[in-house]
Amino acid sequence: MKFRFFIPFIASLLCLPACKKCENKQKPGAVVQKAANFKGAFSFVSTYNEKTKILTQKIKLKDGFHAYGEGEKIGRPANMIIDNKDGWQMIGKPILPNGQMKDLGILGKSIVLDKKFEISAKVDGGKGPIVGALRMQICSSNACDKPRSHQFEVKNILK
């Protein structure tokens, strides 16, 4: 019983020098990838049509970036929420774009949205500006940002 812990301890000491040699070494000619700049990866414009009562988010992603579509199981799909400030309410659920199944290599297969897409919803019952958030998780071909909320405000509503 005395040697029960002694043998694994000695074995770990024997392997320690081999592990130290391989730490933090890159192969010659290896390509080091820089982290993606997710802050500038997309832009969006919010509009409200007073006749149809439709609030629309027009999203444009830069080349090399994607967001996730409805039905995605791992990443966070794009969505929109409305703040009930000034009485505004979303009537039903937002209309989300259909994504495309895509093999993302090391990230696996996912339902993605790329380039340009729209999210819209019927919004009514309020006065003043419409305030809310566009929720998305933006990814590059080799990394993903955490899911984030991007605030918006639509002003100049006549009600």
Core vs surface per residue 14-36: b (16+ CB within 10 A) or e = eeeeeeeeeeeeeeeeeeeeeeb
Task: Encode pLDDT of 16-66 as tens digits.
Answer: 444 444 344 444 543 334 556 777 888 899 999 999 999 999 999 999 899
Nearby residues of 122 by Cβ (< 8 Å), 6 or more positions away = 52, 53, 54, 55, 90, 91, 92
Tally: H helices and E strands in the chain:
1, 10
- Residues 65, 113 contacting (CB under 8 angstroms): no
Residue 13: strand, helix, or coil: helix
- For residue 47, the surrounding DSSP H or E stretch is strand 42-49
pLDDT tens digits for range 94-138: 999 888 998 877 767 889 898 999 999 999 988 889 999 999 999
How many other CB atoms are found less than 10 A from the CB of residue 148? 14
pLDDT at position 31 is 38
pTM of the shown model? 0.71
- Across residues 134-159, what is the average pLDDT? 85
Domain boundaries, the chain: 40-154
* 3 state SS of 26: coil
Assign domain 40-154 to its CATH architecture: Sandwich (2.60)
